[in-house]
Amino acid sequence: MSGAELGQVHQPPRCVGRGAVAPFSPAELTELERRIGARAAPAGTQLLHQGADVDRIGIIISGEVECSHRRRGRRQVLQVLHPGEVYGDIALLCAVPTLFGVRAASEVAVIELDAPRFWALLEQRPHVCRRVLFSVASRLEQLERRLLTVTAGDLTHKVAALLLDEVGPRGGAVSLSQETIAQLLGTTRPSVNRVLKAFEQAGYVQLQYRRIEVSDPVGLEHALR
């Protein structure tokens, strides 16, 4: 599909995914899926191998994926991506092997956009190019904030900051297991569970299987002080 063809699609004011971080609009994703198709993969599928050369990007249509780094046999989750977000773009833009592996955290559907189509969109559609650049910069900024989260404050502060970073000021659902949260924060699952239980008793969250409902984000904000 050419950039001109994509440009004929009506562009809504917002992107899917986590606000403006997602580089493609809903209409663009619909058009890409219609022309290219989407790959369905069960949970646990390795979508991108650490250290691999990248010749395409992945755009998440449904489900969630984990970006992780494996060292000395230990896998460390560093980021969780949601529908509308992409992976592989930084390595492709920089022409370097990817530093992270990407694995389906749940059943997922992804559009795999190969390098020639991706470059054509960036060259022919300036608005897509700007959003891709903003998406990359926003994710790097998020990783910087996550780094500050795991190096400042006690575990209560870290868990509260992570939950608020996932849902924003209005609250909502965090579809992360306690094990994944522990990996993101460099701690253990029992330690995370103790903090979450305290948050639940305070009425800040409701704990469910592989899901945390943040019902009182203002209360969580107080935990950061």
CA distance 13 to 3: 19
CA distance 81 to 139: 10
Q: Which of 148, 183, 209 is the last residue of a domain?
A: 148
Residues 130 and 19 in one domain: yes
The DSSP symbol for 58 reads: E
Residues 174 and 100 in one domain: no
Q: Which of 116, 148, 180 is the last residue of a domain?
A: 148
Residues 105 and 185 in one domain: no
CATH of the domain at 28: 2.60.120.10
User: In the predicted model, what is the mean pLDDT of residues 95-109?
Assistant: 94
- The one-letter code for the residue type at 32 is L
SS3 22: coil
CA distance 18 to 77: 19
* pLDDT given for residue 42 in this prediction: 97
User: In the predicted model, what is the mean pLDDT of residues 125-143?
Assistant: 86
Q: Which of 91, 126, 148 is the last residue of a domain?
A: 148
Residues 93 and 23 in one domain: yes
CATH of the domain at 171: 1.10.10.10
DSSP string, 116-137: HHHHHHHHH-HHHHHHHHHHHH
Residues 157 and 144 in one domain: no
Position with higher pLDDT, 17 vs 89: 89
Helix (H) or strand (E) holding 205: strand 205-208
User: In the predicted model, what is the mean pLDDT of residues 57-86?
Assistant: 88
Residues 55 and 141 in one domain: yes
Digit-coded pLDDT (tens) for 162-180: 898 888 778 888 878 898 8
Residues 99 and 158 in one domain: no
Residues 132 and 36 in one domain: yes
* pLDDT given for residue 21 in this prediction: 65
Residues 138 and 166 in one domain: no
- Domain holding 181, by residue range, is 152-223
Digit-coded pLDDT (tens) for 7-52: 433 332 223 345 456 788 888 888 889 989 999 999 999 999 999 9
Residues 29 and 138 in one domain: yes
Residues 142 and 157 in one domain: no
Residues 173 and 144 in one domain: no
pLDDT for residue 198 is more than 90: yes
DSSP string, 88-104: SHHHHHHTS--SSEEEE
How large a percentage of the chain has pLDDT more than 90? Answer: 44
Query: How many independent structural domains does the chain possess?
Result: 2
